[in-house]
Structure 1
């Protein structure tokens, strides 16, 4: 009986994962998403585009040809960018955040930024985690 329950749980988890993310064409991305990628990630192409329901909100996830992950809200604004350990471009990041990192961590580069509901989380190359308010004021380092 336990094996049957375990198989049921695994099948349900797989079905939920498939439902949570569905591949789409680049044309199905929200307005502005493809243009954002062209502007801030020149020379990289979209390898995979998916609809993604994270935290109950419909959004979009894009994997670029260099394995960078870009997530967008349903209105096409960026939500999270993950260079997966590699530095990411910073022209779209609040100038106060970029300036804080340059001043306080001059030898580090931003590799990940997550614009959440309450704050902005930033990861640096030296495994340093920073937290800022939505308007770019420094809160803390982890």
Structure 2
């Protein structure tokens, strides 16, 4: 009986995760997402684009050949850019955030930016994580 419950649970989890992300053609991304990618990531080919449902919210995920990935809200505006340990382009990052980072951490590079519902999270090289308000004002910083 336990084995049967575990098996059904695993099948359910797999099924839900399969429907949570669905591969789409690049051309099916919102125009603003395509424009963002063409402006800031034109030298990095897209290897996959998916419709995504994270925490019940609709959006898109785009994975680039260099290992970076970009997430978009359902309206096409960017939500997260994650370079892993690699620096990301900064032309789209709010000026106040860039100014703070270059002043306080002149040797560090931004590797991730994430617009949540309440905060803006920024990760730097050497495991430094910063949290800003939506207006770009620093809330806190820490080493991870």
Normalising by the smaller structure, the TM-score range is over 0.9
1:4 aligns with 2:12: no
* Residues in 2 aligned to 1:79 and 1:55: alpha-carbon distance in whole angstroms: 14
Report runs of 4+ in structure 1 exceeding 3 Å deviation: none
Q: With the length of structure 2 as denominator, give the TM-score of the two structures.
A: 0.96
Q: Structure 1 unaligned runs (5+)?
A: none
CA RMSD in angstroms comes to 0.7
* Residues in 2 aligned to 1:99 and 1:89: alpha-carbon distance in whole angstroms: 15
1:28 aligns with 2:12: no
Q: 91-100 vs 36-45, which deviates more?
A: 36-45
- Aligned to 2:51, the other structure's residue is in SS state strand
Aligned length: 142
Q: Summarize deviations over 1:86-128 as a string: whole Å, max 9, x none.
A: 0000110000001100000011100011001001000001100
- Aligned to 2:61, the other structure's residue is in SS state strand
* Residues in 1 aligned to 2:30 and 2:78: alpha-carbon distance in whole angstroms: 11
Which residue of structure 1 lines up, in the alignment, with residue 15 of structure 2?
Answer: 15
* Residues in 2 aligned to 1:114 and 1:137: alpha-carbon distance in whole angstroms: 15
1:54 aligns with 2:54: yes
Q: With the length of structure 1 as denominator, give the TM-score of the two structures.
A: 0.97
CA contact (8 A) 1:44 1:64 kept: yes
1:69 aligns with 2:55: no
* Residues in 2 aligned to 1:122 and 1:9: alpha-carbon distance in whole angstroms: 36
* Residues in 2 aligned to 1:57 and 1:3: alpha-carbon distance in whole angstroms: 33
Q: Structure 2 unaligned runs (5+)?
A: none
1:1-142 map, 5 Å: 1-142=1-142
